[in-house]
Amino acid sequence: MNLKPSIYQGLPVALLTQHGKQELIRPILEVALGCRLVHTDGYDTDLLGTFTRDVARPSSQLEACRHKARIGMALTGTTLGMASEGAFGPDPYTGWMEWDTEVLLWVDAKHGLEVIGMAQGPAQSLHRMVRTTEELMQFATEALFPEHHLVLRPDHSEHPDLYKDLSNVNSLLRAFHAARAASTCDRVFVENDLRAYCNPTRQDIIRKAAENLVQKLSSLCPHCQAPGYGITRKVLGLRCKACGHPTRLPVADIWQCVVCAHQEQRDTAHGWADPGQCDRCNP
Ligand SMILES: [Zn+2]
Ligand SMILES: [Zn+2]
């Protein structure tokens, strides 16, 4: 579904980023919405937090996005802004896998609306302590180097000296020897670089978040026509076929406008829940 005509046709949208994300996001947003992404790097986004632990992350993902979008809008003098922010941690299902959650925030100051695009998936985020070049190169293979860049530190993961932008074997080995020389225990901490331009796995998830954002911006409120009309929560309680009691299975979606108060319930399931899913019949 596309906005025809898009209310954003031809309008400039500020995007503040230093890590090459504009080239991932630009084609998806510009083709779908007809807007014009204005990239700015007039502010050091690393001051807002980085993945290599040299600056602590100050706030939640969404707040960081909001802050970056506002700075970009102020720098470029636009009423539209967007920002991207990733977060890494254990996967929400088993807790065993490294997981990447990418958020893309759209800020429309004129219409007073914010729309959030999101995508998530397994992250390419490994780390290890190594002592020899053999161990280092073994790790590099597992970490999908050189397409995915690496970061090194002497001794441990919190050491203040870090070697980044390592994207070929020569620079990796040079950094490894320097880090080992600076080490007090002949050990080097090596990990995947999680910055977007260093991590193609992350790039894929950022693209998916951009597609999700476009989809949401293309969905209009039936009442006030504002973009960003979408599902805000699910209603649970599909009834059990055997005992008739509500289960924890979804029965409907609540759709809500981000500008006016309009909302509606759309049924997503019909019929009955399998008794195997019922806490009463199958506790
Ligand atoms: Zn039951
Ligand atoms: Zn509305």
Q: Is residue 282 part of a domain?
A: no
Q: Give the integer Cα–Cα distance in Å for 268 and 249.
A: 11
| Alpha carbon of 270 to ligand 1 centroid (Å) | 16
Q: Is residue 225 part of a domain?
A: no
Residues 48 and 159 reside in one and the same domain: no
User: What pLDDT score was predicted for residue 155?
Assistant: 95
User: What pLDDT score was predicted for residue 22?
Assistant: 87
Q: Give the integer Cα–Cα distance in Å for 158 and 170.
A: 24
Q: What is the mean pLDDT of residues 1-12?
A: 72
Residues 93 and 132 reside in one and the same domain: no
278 and 245 Cβ atoms separated by less than 8 Å: yes
| Domain range for 65 | 12-123+200-218
Kindly provide the b/e burial profile for residues 56-95, where b requires at least 16 CB atoms within 10 angstroms of the residue's own CB: eeeeebeebbbbbbbbbbebbebebbbbbbbbeeebeeee
| Alpha carbon of 110 to ligand 2 centroid (Å) | 15
Give the bridge partners for 85, in sequence order: 103
Residues 116 and 143 reside in one and the same domain: no
Q: Give the integer Cα–Cα distance in Å for 172 and 152.
A: 9
Q: Which amino acid is at 148?
A: H
User: What pLDDT score was predicted for residue 103?
Assistant: 92
Write the pLDDT tens digit of every residue in 164-198: 999 999 999 999 999 999 999 999 999 999 999 99
Q: Give the integer Cα–Cα distance in Å for 63 and 73.
A: 15
Residues 72 and 48 reside in one and the same domain: yes
Show Cβ contacts of residue 31 under 8 Å, excluding neighbours closer than 6 positions: none
Q: Which amino acid is at 220?
A: L
The structure tokens listed for 224 are 């006030």
Read off the pLDDT band of 270 (50, 70, 90): confident
Question: Which ligand sits nearest to residue 283's alpha carbon?
Answer: 1
Q: Is residue 246 part of a domain?
A: yes
| Alpha carbon of 240 to ligand 1 centroid (Å) | 5
Indicate if the pLDDT at residue 131 is higher than 90: yes
Write the pLDDT tens digit of every residue in 215-250: 999 999 999 988 999 888 999 999 999 999 999 999
Coil, helix or strand for 70?
Answer: helix
Indicate if the pLDDT at residue 163 is higher than 70: yes
User: What pLDDT score was predicted for residue 1?
Assistant: 41
11 vs 270: which has the higher pLDDT:
11
Residues 237 and 149 reside in one and the same domain: no
231 and 244 Cβ atoms separated by less than 8 Å: no
Write the pLDDT tens digit of every residue in 17-73: 877 788 899 999 999 999 999 988 766 666 655 555 444 444 588 888 999 999 999
Residues 119 and 173 reside in one and the same domain: no
Q: Where are the beta strands (DSSP E) in 143-271?
A: 150-154, 163-166, 188-192, 230-236, 250-256, 263-267
Q: What residues flank ion ligand 2 with Cβ within 5 A? A: 221, 223-224, 226, 257, 259-260, 262
Q: Is residue 206 part of a domain?
A: yes
The structure tokens listed for 65 are 């996005």
Q: Is residue 6 part of a domain?
A: no
Write the pLDDT tens digit of every residue in 70-100: 999 999 999 999 999 998 888 888 989 999 9
Question: Which ligand sits nearest to residue 277's alpha carbon?
Answer: 1
13 vs 62: which has the higher pLDDT:
13
Q: What is the DSSP letter of 198?
A: G
| Alpha carbon of 19 to ligand 2 centroid (Å) | 35
User: What pLDDT score was predicted for residue 159?
Assistant: 95
Number of structural domains, the chain? 3
Q: Is residue 76 part of a domain?
A: yes
Pairing state between β 113-122 and 188-192: unpaired
Residue 3 CB neighbour total at 10 angstroms = 18
Q: Is residue 23 part of a domain?
A: yes
108 and 80 Cβ atoms separated by less than 8 Å: yes
Indicate if the pLDDT at residue 2 is higher than 60: no
Q: What is the mean pLDDT of the chain?
A: 89
55 vs 144: which has the higher pLDDT:
144
| Alpha carbon of 162 to ligand 2 centroid (Å) | 49
Q: What is the mean pLDDT of residues 114-134?
A: 95
Instruction: Report which secondary-structure segment, H or E, holds 138.
Output: helix 133-142
| Alpha carbon of 239 to ligand 1 centroid (Å) | 8
